[in-house]
Amino acid sequence: MIRVLPNVLTASELQAVRELLPQVRFGDGRITNPDSSVKQNLQAPQEDPANARIAQIAREALVRYADVRTFAHPRSMARTTVVRYEPGMNYGWHVDEAMFPSTPPMRSDLSCTVFLNSPADYDGGELTIQLGAQELSYKLEAGSAILYPSTTIHRVSPVTRGVRLAAITWLQSWVADSNQRELLVQIEEARALAASGGDPARLQVLLESLRTNLFRMWADT
Ligand SMILES: O=C(O)CCC(=O)C(=O)O
Ligand SMILES: [Fe+2]
């Protein structure tokens, strides 16, 4: 399941990020993926002070964002890194690493991109995610983010004009299984609908989905 998170960064956080971005000293993105033959971008070293400040702003914004809690049930979040794609740069089809060598090591369940500049600033640079035979492409407004399963094959298509800037991170969830996470998301939606007296037809279909899918999960065959 993929979730777009509009306006993760407030206007003042976005302004702070805009002032910090020119101070980031980018290096070759392959520093963290030396064996990759498809990664062709620029990436801030972890120790870069402007990267660290942007990372902190992005993390705090993600942690306080209610949909991140509902959708991801986050247990831990990996390092956050600012990436930069100039014309000709791209990150070809790949799957993200399963484990990050943090202390303690963490498993990536969800990948996250926080878009840091306007889609009008560049051509190309879509984040495209494969779901079966379908491809879904995203190019979000500055300050908005996307969460998607780290199990998916995805890419950043070549930038053909301008510069694409984003902050990327990964989350480990308390609930490893994405089908189980999906049921918790539906329970939360049903709870919120019941509390607000919202659309009864939607509440009905959510409850049907929960009953049917829990039965499917628990039925002995
Ligand atoms: O820049 C992005 O939106 C995601 C890049 C990516 O797939 C990665 O760094 O693993
Ligand atoms: Fe990736």
Cβ proximity of 128 and 137 under 8 Å: yes
pLDDT tens digits along 58-90: 999 999 999 999 999 999 999 999 999 999 999
Residue spans of the domains in the chain: they are 3-173, 178-218
> What digits encode the pLDDT tens for the residues 154-209?
999 999 999 999 999 999 999 999 999 999 999 999 999 999 999 999 999 999 99
Q: What is the rounded average pLDDT for all residues in the chain?
A: 96
> Residues near ligand 1 with C-beta < 6 Å?
83, 91, 96, 113, 127, 154, 156, 166, 168
What is the C-alpha separation between 183 and 189, in angstroms, rounded?
Answer: 10
Alpha carbon of 116 to ligand 1 centroid (Å): 13
pTM: 0.95
Q: What is the DSSP string of 143-195?
A: T-EEEEETTS-EEEPPEEEE-EEEEEEEEEES---HHHHHHHHHHHHHHHHHH
Model confidence at 104: pLDDT above 90: no
Select from 40, 62, 43 the least CA-distant residue to 51.
43
Determine the Cα angle at 204 with ends 198 and 210, to 5°.
115
Is there a binding annotation on residue 154? Answer: yes
| CATH 3.10.310.70 is the classification of domain 3-173 | no
